[in-house]
Structure 1
């Protein structure tokens, strides 16, 4: 029996598993890569016991979407990947980390003007997370933007 190319590709991705406490995934610094990071985070949250549509799941998914979009928009360096890291902490929170290659461009939460299309993403992150911030990218060039989301329940 042969496997389809889709099955072969799927097996190279990190699998969302309930028993793993950390999910780490490098993605291309592109809109497609950012969408994949959001989708993988969504699947991992479901595997951890916070199902699709639950408040914790949706908060983490939105934070990953915002941070990944910022990484590929403002942290882009040609030929360098971005990275997503999700970790369950103490069974009561989920830490989201998104790293990019532009350490000199630190994010700032600001209230965008009425005529601006963007600029509100970090305000959403701040509203959904108990804490957020930046740190140097571990083991590489760039920065990591992180957020901690309260996550009672689940299998964590």
Structure 2
């Protein structure tokens, strides 16, 4: 089960998944209060790992998995991208006239450590990169707020797991009264009554 120190989501095998992964990274790190310097290193790393996974030959219906995790004790931010394909990621040193092949060079330069291993499901591989994030903090306490108080970028507990909120909109409830629709980083949208209590991280409350 994911905790607020560990956010996972799956992306379709399309070019639109690269900007979506970056947007999710911004939302997650913003919710964690991670500094701009770490974000500026994490974004290009994820922007290299995701396209690499998308280029791996696999059945067209296989999605890629992304995990963003933090360790306050070690002061590290960990990015993981998994795919169902084979092969080994290797750092190349392309010639001056080559326009590609430098992705893992960038990852190796920015990361404190990187590598790969078998996916937990047993099919394919997961490539990871760890970045130093000395200012990263541990998982905060939680509190309950009315759904209408939740804002974009915050994180709520949905069916026992933490989900980052990508968007919020109002919507009339079928039985009458106001409702709130939360667009989530993973899984379907959540539609609840405006006054329904939701668990939110302490320090992320607005209004």
Q: 1:74, CA displacement in angstroms?
A: 2.6
- Counterpart in the other structure of 1:58: 40
Unaligned runs of 5+ in 2: 139-207
Q: 1:76, CA displacement in angstroms?
A: 4.3
Q: In structure 2, do the counterparts of structure 1 residues 108 and 57 end up closer, same or farther at CA, with 3 Å as the change threshold?
A: same
- Counterpart in the other structure of 1:132: 114
Which of 40, 59, 68 is the equivalent residue of 2:24? 40
Deviations 1:32-69 (A, max 9, x none): 11221121012211211124xx2211111111110001
Q: 1:78, CA displacement in angstroms?
A: 1.1
Q: In structure 2, do the counterparts of structure 1 residues 144 and 116 end up closer, same or farther at CA, with 3 Å as the change threshold?
A: same
* Structure 1 consecutive aligned stretches of length 4 or more whose deviation exceeds 4 Å: none
Please say which of residues 21-30 and 110-119 is displaced more in the overlay: 110-119
Q: What's the Cα RMSD here?
A: 1.6
How far, CA to CA, are the matches of 1:112 and 1:86 in structure 2?
A: 29
- Contact preservation (8 Å) 2:49, 2:127: yes
- Contact preservation (8 Å) 2:64, 2:83: yes
- SS of match in other structure, 1:61: helix
Q: 1:132, CA displacement in angstroms?
A: 0.5
How far, CA to CA, are the matches of 1:140 and 1:78 in structure 2?
A: 19
Deviations 1:100-147 (A, max 9, x none): 110x22111111111222111101111111110110011241100001
Please say which of residues 68-77 and 130-139 is displaced more in the overlay: 68-77
- SS of match in other structure, 1:72: helix
Which of 3, 7, 10 is the equivalent residue of 1:26? 10
- Larger % of helix: which? 1
- Counterpart in the other structure of 1:13: none
TM-score (norm 1): 0.80
How far, CA to CA, are the matches of 1:76 and 1:124 in structure 2?
A: 25
How many residues align structurally? 135
TM-score (norm 2): 0.61
- Contact preservation (8 Å) 2:116, 2:128: yes
How far, CA to CA, are the matches of 1:131 and 1:108 in structure 2?
A: 14
Which of 104, 107, 121 is the equivalent residue of 1:122? 104
How far, CA to CA, are the matches of 1:26 and 1:74 in structure 2?
A: 16
Q: 1:75, CA displacement in angstroms?
A: 5.0
